[in-house]
Amino acid sequence: MKAAKFEYEQAQSLQQIQDAYGSDPSALRLMGGSQSLGPMLNLRLVRPGRVLDVSAVPELRQVTAIKGHVRIGAAVTHAQIEDGIYELLRGHMMQKVAGRIAYRGVRNRGTLGGSLAHADPAADWVLTCVALGARINVRGTQGSRTVPMSEFMLAAYTTVLEAGEFIESVDVPEVSGSARWGYYKFTRKVGEFADASCACYFDPATRTARVVIGAMEGAPRSLPELAVKVAAQGAAVLEGDTIEAALQPYLAQRDEAHQVLFRTVVERSLKQALGVKG
Amino acid sequence: MAEISIQVNGRQQKHEAEPRTHLGDFIREKSRLTGTNLSCEHGVCGACTVLVDGRPVRSCITFAGACDGHEVTTVEGYDDDPIMSRLRTAFSEKHALQCGFCTPGMLATSRDIVLRLPDADEARVRIELSGNICRCTGYQGITAAILSVLQALRDQPDAQVDALRAAVVQNVQQDWNQNGFTTFDAVQEDVQAPAPVAAAAPAASGRADKGKGQAIQGGFDARFPADQVWAFMKDLPKVAGCLPGAMIESQEGATVQGKIAIKFGPMSAAFKGNAALEEDNERRAAVLRGEGVDSLSQSRARGDVSFQVNPDGPERSRVEVELVYSLQGPLAQFSRSGLVQDFVRRMIAEFGKNVNLRLEKPLAEGEEPVVAEFNPVKMFFSILWDRFKGLFRRA
Ligand SMILES: Cc1cc2nc3c(=O)[nH]c(=O)nc-3n(C[C@H](O)[C@H](O)[C@H](O)COP(=O)(O)OP(=O)(O)OC[C@H]3O[C@@H](n4cnc5c(N)ncnc54)[C@H](O)[C@@H]3O)c2cc1C
Ligand code: FES
Ligand code: FES
Are residues B184 and A231, on separate chains, in Cβ contact within 8 Å? yes
Atom 21 of ligand 1 has which residue's CA nearest to it?
A115
- Whole-structure pTM value: 0.86
Q: Is residue B172 scored above 50 in pLDDT?
A: yes
**SS3 sequence of B54-120:** CEEEECCCCEHHHHCCCEEECHHHCCCCHHHHHHHHHHHHCCCCCCCCCHHHHHHHHHHHHHHCCCC
pLDDT at B259 (0 to 100): 86
Specify whether the backbone of B82 is left (phi greater than 0), alpha (psi in -120 to 50) or beta.
alpha
* Residue scoring higher pLDDT (A45 or B106): B106
Ligand 3 center to B184 CA (angstroms): 54
Q: What is the pLDDT of residue B198?
A: 42
Q: How far apart are CA B151 and CA B121, in angstroms?
A: 10
What amino acid is encoded at A93 in this protein? M
Are β-strands A143-148 and A135-140 bridged in parallel, bridged antiparallel, or unpaired? Answer: antiparallel
B222 in Cβ contact with B356 (< 8 Å): yes
Q: What is the mean pLDDT of chain B?
A: 84
CB B103 within 8 A of CB B146: no
The answer to whether residue A162 neighbours chain B at the CB level (below 8 Å) is no
Shortest CB distance from A217 goes to which of B130, B197, B298?
B197
Tens-digit pLDDT profile for residues B302-312 = 888 888 999 99
Q: Which residue has the higher pLDDT, A219 or B391?
A: A219
Tens digits of pLDDT across chain A (278 residues): 899 999 999 999 999 999 999 888 888 999 999 999 999 999 888 889 999 999 999 999 999 999 999 999 999 999 999 999 999 999 999 999 999 999 999 999 999 999 999 999 999 999 999 999 999 999 998 899 999 999 999 888 889 999 999 999 999 999 988 999 999 999 988 888 899 999 999 999 999 999 999 998 889 999 999 999 999 999 999 998 999 999 998 887 778 898 999 999 999 999 999 999 87
| Residue bearing the bigger pLDDT, B224 or B179 | B224
Task: Provide the residue type at B36 as one letter.
Answer: T
- A143's torsion region: left (phi>0), alpha (psi -120 to 50) or beta? left
CA–CA separation, A215 and A201 (whole Å)? 18
The arithmetic mean of pLDDT across residues B223-252, rounded, is 86
**Residue-level pLDDT at B193:** 52
pLDDT band, residue B204 (cuts 50/70/90): very low
Ligand 1 center from residue A11 Cα (angstroms)? 18
What integer pLDDT is reported at residue B352 of this predicted model?
A: 86
Taking the C-alpha atoms of residue B42 and residue B60, their distance in angstroms, rounded to an integer, is 7
CA of A111 to the centre of ligand 1 (A): 6
- What tens digit of pLDDT does each residue of A29-55 get? 999 999 999 999 998 888 899 999 999
Q: How far apart are CA B19 and CA B66, in angstroms?
A: 9
Q: Cβ of B330 and A45 within 8 Å? A: yes
Q: What is the pLDDT of residue B377?
A: 54
The nearest CA of chain B is from the CA of A182 a distance in Å of 9
Residue in A5, A39, A228 closest to B20 by CB = A5
State which residue of chain A sits closest to B294, comparing Cα positions: A45
Rounded to whole angstroms, how far apart are CA atoms A48 and A30?
A: 10
B341-354 tens-digit pLDDT: 777 777 788 888 88
Question: Is B190 at the interface with chain A, CB within 8 A?
Answer: yes
Closest CA to B291 of B276, B269, B307: B276
Percent of chain B at pLDDT > 70 equals 82
CB within 8 Å of B354: residues ≥ 6 apart: B241, B242, B243, B244
Centre of ligand 2 from the C-alpha of residue B57, in Å? 10
Whether the predicted pLDDT of B372 surpasses 70: no
Which ligand gives the minimal distance to the CA of B24? 2
Is the Cβ pair A5, B18 closer than 8 Å? yes
pLDDT band of residue B212 (cuts 50, 70, 90) is low
pLDDT value of position B170: 61
Instruction: Please tell me if residue B219 touches chain A, with a CB cutoff of 8 Å.
Output: no
Residue B205: pLDDT band with limits 50, 70, 90: very low
Task: Give the 3-state secondary structure of B372-385.
Answer: CCECHHHHHHHHHH
Quote the ligand 1 centre to B275 CA distance (angstroms). 36
Choosing among B191, B298, B333, B383, which should be mutated to test the A contact, i.e. which has the most A CBs within 10 A? B191
Find the range with the poorest average confidence among A32-36, B126-130, B288-292, B332-336.
B332-336
The pLDDT-based confidence of B63 (bands split at 50, 70, 90) is very high
Cβ of B170 within 8 Å of Cβ of A190? The answer is no
Residue located nearest, by CA, to atom 3 of ligand 2: B43
Nearby residues of B49 by Cβ (< 8 Å), 6 or more positions away: A105, B56, B57, B58, B59, B104, B105, B108, B109, B132
Nearest to B177 by CA among A266, A92, A237: A92
CA dihedral A209, A215, A219, A223 (to 10 degrees): -30
Higher pLDDT, B292 or A115: A115
Per-residue pLDDT band at B337 (split at 50, 70, 90): low
Give the pLDDT confidence score for residue B241 in this predicted structure: 80
Task: Check B18 against A158: CB less than 8 A apart.
Answer: no
Q: Is A90 on the interface with B (CB under 8 A)?
A: yes
Residues of chain A contacting residue B179, judged by C-beta atoms under 8 Å apart: 275
Verify whether the Cβ–Cβ distance A106 to B131 is below 8 Å: yes
pLDDT at position B295 over 70: yes
Positive or negative CA dihedral for B156, B160, B163, B165?
Answer: negative
Residues with CB under 6 A from ligand 1: A 29-37, 39, 54, 74, 101-102, 106, 110-111, 113-115, 117-118, 123-125, 161, 166-167, 191-193; B 43-44, 266
Q: What is the tens place of the pLDDT at every residue in A77-89? A: 999 999 999 999 9
Mean pLDDT of B111-119: 96
Taking residues B97-102, report their average pLDDT. Answer: 96
Does residue B386 register a pLDDT over 80? no
